[in-house]
Amino acid sequence: MENTEKTQIKPFSWYPGHMKKAKDIIVNNLKLVDVVIELLDARIPYSSANPMLQEIIAGKPRLVALNKSDLADTKVTKEWVAYFRQQGIPAVAVDAPQGRGIKQLVSMTEALAKPMTDKLVSKGAKPRAARVMILGIPNVGKSSLINRLAGSNKAKTADKPGVTRAKQWIRLGGNLELLDTPGILWPKFEDMTAGLKLAFTGAINDEAIDRELITGVFLQTMAEMYPDRLRERYKLAGDLPSEPHELLELIGRKRGCLVKGGIVDTEKAQRIVLTDFRSGKLGTVSLDMPPQDDGMAEDEQ
């Protein structure tokens, strides 16, 4: 990925008005909650973390939930959970649609909130449910997690990023009360590699990216990290082509993406590759590895 800076992608200076509004909602309502759950994509925990979050939450107890863990490399996800815990941040892997990890997430959230709720009771207040806010960039599965926690479709879901917009309170039984807020994305992608990985997963709307370029970089990354997944999925034998466009063309031919004259329909092939990755058809894949030292310090989260 060393050639990333030479790509034609602009610095992702995408910060729509609704993103700023979302940040304002979060800042204005943080005083209402006891715990913040930071929802990350388990495939790209570093790239899907919001670097402004530590500043925004300003000392609130924080829990990391690594969602879409069913799509991520299990071994790497365990390493990420251990990494966050070493940083003093409770973490749990979850698969919201299937409900995996949800009970642990709830119990950890209640434990984090207990000192605050106990303190209120000691001062004469009536016992109340723990109040929680879930924060995450678009398309990390926030609505799916909320629906699983609530036991019904309380939050509107869609495959496109950024569909959750308005603030809403959701009761999660007697012990948790959730303040839903829109997902937020940072205002400038200074880390180009992180921006590319977000594009791979669909966290950035496909209409806002150069799909040919994104697919090429994705294939280059997969060829370096998970070559056997490409061979298995697309029935490729031997060494993979070193040039991404040659690899895409080979995949396109294997998948029958041909037009008149036997030419590969590269746009169709690009859609197939990205869809296969996002749906898990390329197998469990993790594109962010946890630091082996303190390289991902608190101020980088």
Look up residue 258 and give its DSSP letter.
E
Half-sphere exposure of 277 (CA within 13 A, CB side): 24
Of the listed ranges 97-106, 182-191, 251-260, the least confidently predicted one is 182-191
Instruction: Return the pLDDT at 127.
Output: 86
State how far the Cα of 245 lies from the Cα of 213, in Å rounded to an integer: 9
State how far the Cα of 79 lies from the Cα of 292, in Å rounded to an integer: 10
β partners of residue 65: 39, 92
C-beta neighbour count of 243 within 10 angstroms? 12
Instruction: Return the pLDDT at 300.
Output: 39
- Return the SS3 of 88: coil
Instruction: Return the pLDDT at 269.
Output: 97
- Report residue 56 as tokens: 């925004």
**68 annotated binding-site participant:** yes
Instruction: Return the pLDDT at 170.
Output: 86
State how far the Cα of 1 lies from the Cα of 122, in Å rounded to an integer: 55
* Highest averaged pLDDT of the listed ranges 28-32, 178-182, 296-300: 28-32
C-beta neighbour count of 60 within 10 angstroms? 15
pLDDT over 70, % of the chain: 81
Question: Which overall architecture, per CATH, does domain 4-188 show?
Answer: 3-Layer(aba) Sandwich (3.40)
Q: What share of the chain is helix, strand, coil (3-state, %, to 5)?
A: 45, 15, 45
Instruction: Return the pLDDT at 225.
Output: 96
Average pLDDT over residues 197-203: 91
CATH topology of domain 192-279: Conserved Hypothetical Protein Ylqf; Chain: A; domain 2 (1.10.1580)
State how far the Cα of 11 lies from the Cα of 33, in Å rounded to an integer: 34
**147 annotated binding-site participant:** no
Taking 50 as the threshold, does the pLDDT of residue 32 lie above it?
yes
User: pLDDT per residue over 133-171, tens digit each?
Assistant: 999 888 888 888 988 988 865 655 444 454 444 557 788
Which residue has better confidence, 223 or 125? 223
**151 annotated binding-site participant:** no
Of the listed ranges 77-86, 157-166, 260-269, the least confidently predicted one is 157-166
Instruction: Return the pLDDT at 301.
Output: 39
- Report residue 57 as tokens: 């939450």
Integer CA distances (angstroms), 123 to 30, 51, 126, in order: 21, 36, 9
User: pLDDT per residue over 49-81, tens digit each?
Assistant: 988 888 888 789 999 999 999 999 999 999 999
DSSP string, 217-241: HHHHHHHHH-HHHHHHHHT--SSPP
How many degrees, rounded to 5, is the angle at CA 135 between CA 288 and CA 106? 95
Instruction: Return the pLDDT at 183.
Output: 67
Mean per-residue pLDDT of the chain: 84
Taking 50 as the threshold, does the pLDDT of residue 297 lie above it?
no
Which residue has better confidence, 203 or 187? 203
By CB atoms closer than 10 A (0-12, 13-18, 19+), residue 265 is middle
Question: Using an 8 Å Cβ cutoff, are 80 and 91 in contact?
Answer: yes
User: pLDDT per residue over 96-143, tens digit each?
Assistant: 999 999 999 999 999 999 988 888 888 888 888 889 999 988 888 888
Average pLDDT over residues 74-89: 96
State how far the Cα of 188 lies from the Cα of 20, in Å rounded to an integer: 12
Taking 50 as the threshold, does the pLDDT of residue 1 lie above it?
no
Domain range annotation of the chain: 4-188, 192-279
- Residue 263 φ/ψ, nearest 5 degrees: -85, 140
Instruction: Return the pLDDT at 103.
Output: 92
**268 annotated binding-site participant:** no
State how far the Cα of 176 lies from the Cα of 154, in Å rounded to an integer: 15
**286 annotated binding-site participant:** no
Average pLDDT over residues 80-103: 95
State how far the Cα of 273 lies from the Cα of 250, in Å rounded to an integer: 12
**70 annotated binding-site participant:** yes
pTM: 0.84
Taking 90 as the threshold, does the pLDDT of residue 299 lie above it?
no
**3 annotated binding-site participant:** no
